Amino acid sequence: MAFKTEADSGVADRGEWSYAPAVGVGPLRFGMTVDEVVEAAQVLGQAKVSDCARDHAIFSPTWKVEVRRGVAPSPPAVTAYVSQAVGLFCIAADAVHGPQVGHDGISLVGRDLSELESDAIAYAEAVDGHFRYTPEGYAGPDDPGVVVRGQLVGQVLRSRPLFMVTRDGANTEWDSMPSEEYRHGQSTT
Instruction: Kindly report, residue by residue over 5-32, the tens digit of the pLDDT.
Output: 333 444 445 789 999 999 999 999 999 9
What percent of the chain has pLDDT above 70? 88
Over residues 69-78, mean pLDDT: 82
Tell me how far CA of residue 188 lies from CA of 11, 68, 74, in angstroms.
Answer: 12, 15, 11
Question: What type of residue sits at position 41?
Answer: A
Is the pTM value of this prediction over 0.85?
Answer: yes
- Please name the residues in contact with 75: beta carbons below 8 A apart, sequence gap of 6 or more: 68, 94, 96, 97, 188
Contact 110, 9 (CB under 8 A): yes
> pLDDT-based confidence at 72, cuts 50/70/90?
low
Percent of the chain at pLDDT > 90 equals 62
Question: What average pLDDT is seen over the chain?
Answer: 86
Report which of residues 134 and 58 the model is more confident about: 134
Answer whether residue 1 shows pLDDT above 50.
Answer: no
Q: What are phi and psi of 105, to 5 degrees?
A: 85, 0
Nearest to 80 by CA among 25, 135, 43: 25
Give the residue-averaged pLDDT of 35-62. Answer: 87
> Quick one: pLDDT band at residue 183, thresholds 50, 70, 90?
low
Confidence of residue 85 (pLDDT cuts 50, 70, 90): very high
**Using an 8 Å Cβ cutoff, are 91 and 161 in contact?**
no
Give the model confidence (pLDDT) of 88-123 as tens digits.
999 999 999 999 999 988 999 999 999 999 999 999
Q: How far apart are the C-alpha atoms of 114 and 44, rounded to whole Å?
A: 29
pLDDT of residue 68: 92
DSSP-assigned letters across all residues of 99-139 = PEEEETTEE-SS-BHHHHHHHHHHHHHHTT--EEE-TTS-E
pLDDT number for residue 13: 56
Amino acid of residue 19: Y
159-181 tens-digit pLDDT: 999 999 998 888 888 888 998 88
